[in-house]
Structure 1
């Protein structure tokens, strides 16, 4: 039997634990996925997802029923992750590990190089870990707009409101991030093909 969010939220606001558990079961995977895309590793993502869901539980009585529950939940997990990224940025030391895309769009470093191990490169490129590696290489402000747009499905206007930036800034960051990701994927594919041709030529020698 299908029970919509509004009914579950109403019951949760009245203290119905079972109803809240049903809500959590619907959203916990998406909450984790958002945290993972923003933070970059499953252990921290799991901790932050749990923190976000605790905030949902503590704040659910203040949720307005005329709003979208899913959007509200995603707003909470996004804020939890943003706070974590801010903490990390304050403790970062300038080094070769600086973000790949800076505020002015410059490329500062490369993502991990798997050229010495073609098998590992292939496995990484065929998995979500490869895409996550690319996303991790973006600085937090670029990573945030990519995840909000491509994964959470927010409009440009919603992203601008959520991050308190202009619509033009949202579009600029998305365009720069997408261009980098596209170029890097093409570059990696060409590198892999080149390694494959080299292996064939060596085999014929």
Structure 2
């Protein structure tokens, strides 16, 4: 049985895809409502930023709508959408990393600017919430950083299988690899997470 969100008492994904292709925009609106939460969750886990995740998900739904007639197995809309979300998230992350590297280089060139020196010397913590300083919040940040530092394939497998709890077969379909490869990526990701967090446990 193909994975999809619960559709008890409602049209199946395949029915909604067919209706959308026939020109019923409201059918695609229902698909958005059905998958927006999970798509945003996956993007957020991969990117670590809610604003970026929402931006990626918006683009993913636009692309899904534009290319819906290319979906061969209409029952697999959920997996197909999450593959789009995953690919866009990883591409966004690589692009963001390239921009960050350029910004860091520019900062080095302009390191003598007084205003920037003062900002570095005296950062503003006035907006920091008290709970952000708690042990639980600190551990949460450490976990997020450990996930962010994983190689892309390991991170994707961990997010989809261990966090989103998708079946291994569906994770393999989304990632375009074998089930055995998914198992290996998850194993390696968990190993690296344990190593990264060991000093804090």
Q: TM-score, normalised by structure 2?
A: 0.67
**Kept after mapping to 1: 8 A contact 2:160/2:171:** no
Residue 73 of structure 1 is aligned with which of 68, 81, 87? 81
SS in 1 for 2:186: helix
Give the secondary structure class of the aligned counterpart of 2:67: helix
Number of residue pairs the alignment of both structures matches: 165
Greater RCO, 1 or 2 (C-alpha within 8 Å, sep 6+): 2
Structure 2 counterpart SS, 1:68:
helix
CA shift for structure 1 position 175: 2.0
Aligned to 2:27: 19
Distance 1:139 1:10, change over 3 A: same
Aligned to 1:39: 47
Q: Which residue pairs with 2:106 in the alignment?
A: none
Cα deviation digits, residues 51-95 of structure 1 (max 9, x gap)? 1011111111222245411111111111111222333455564xx
| Superimposed CA distance per residue, residues 135-164 of structure 1 (whole angstroms, 9 cap, x where no aligned partner) | 1122323212212322252426953x6545
Matches within 5 A, 1:1-205: 1-90=9-98, 93=101, 120-124=133-137, 131-150=143-162, 151=164, 153-155=166-168, 159=172, 162-163=174-175, 170-189=182-201
| Pairwise CA RMSD | 3.2
Give unpaired runs (5+ residues) of structure 2.
1-8, 102-129
> Shift of the alpha carbon at 1:131?
3.6
Q: Distance in 2 between matches of 1:23 and 1:14?
A: 15
Q: Distance in 1 between matches of 2:178 and 2:73?
A: 28
Runs of at least 4 residues of structure 1 off by over 6 A? none
Closer/same/farther in 2, CA of residues 169 and 64 from structure 1, 3 Å limit: closer
Runs of at least 5 residues in structure 1 that lack an aligned partner in the other structure: 94-116, 190-205
